[in-house]
Chain A
């Protein structure tokens, strides 16, 4: 595809449910990032992949959050036993190579609402 795509665009979950959010990066992009953006706030870094390797997961807020990118392309962010404070927009971004200077291309996000 032409850009980063995410699915679903909207997800409503009952507290305690598990959810899985998908990110399709731009084809050939090595690096993939997940961010959490609460209402009215800037995004906050969650985790970062270089190909299939998860190089940094320091931003994951708890062990209920798990991300994977098994084949170095599509990535899934899984949240177990969702809580109301998990309600946010989850953004995925990719860049063509690793390194701090590369432009990141963001997807439209998945808006998660936990009731």
Chain B
């Protein structure tokens, strides 16, 4: 069964600090991996999309890494801001012909304190 596990479940950091969120997956056959930010009461917003051949991708203060061999990804947030407080969701897309098969993690809830 395809699974995506995220850690930690929740994280509290001080404004200005860096943090790293983890994602481990067992999804096959792998197509791509995405990180989303979901503010409370809103839909997820895409941060990065990474294919098999990409090891790292940045989007402003967000940097995602992918190790397809160990099936691990991380999302690093630099110089955190209060507005970074949200749930961060890792999604892995399986390739199966023309079908779209996403497996979502449960998310990491990040709280940034002033």
- Residue positions of A touching B, CB distance < 8 A: 4, 31, 33, 35, 40-45, 48, 55-56, 91, 93, 98, 100-101, 103-109
Q: How far is the CB of A8 from chain B (nearest CB, A)?
A: 14
- Residue positions of B touching A, CB distance < 8 A: 4, 31-32, 41-46, 49, 51, 89, 91, 93, 95, 98-102, 104-107
Number of A-B contacts (CB under 8 A): 57
Q: In the complex, what distance in Å separates the CA atom of A45 from the CA atom of B93?
A: 11
The verdict on A42 contacting B42 (CB below 8 Å), with A101-B32, A103-B49 known, is no
Main secondary structure of the interface of B (DSSP, over half): strand
Set A35, A40, A106, A109: member contacting B45, Cβ < 8 A: A106
The verdict on A42 contacting B43 (CB below 8 Å), with A55-B99, A101-B51 known, is no
Set B31, B41, B46, B89: member contacting A100, Cβ < 8 A: B31
Q: In the complex, what distance in Å separates the CA atom of A41 from the CA atom of B105?
A: 8
The verdict on A42 contacting B105 (CB below 8 Å), with A56-B99, A101-B49 known, is yes
Q: In the complex, what distance in Å separates the CA atom of A56 from the CA atom of B104?
A: 17
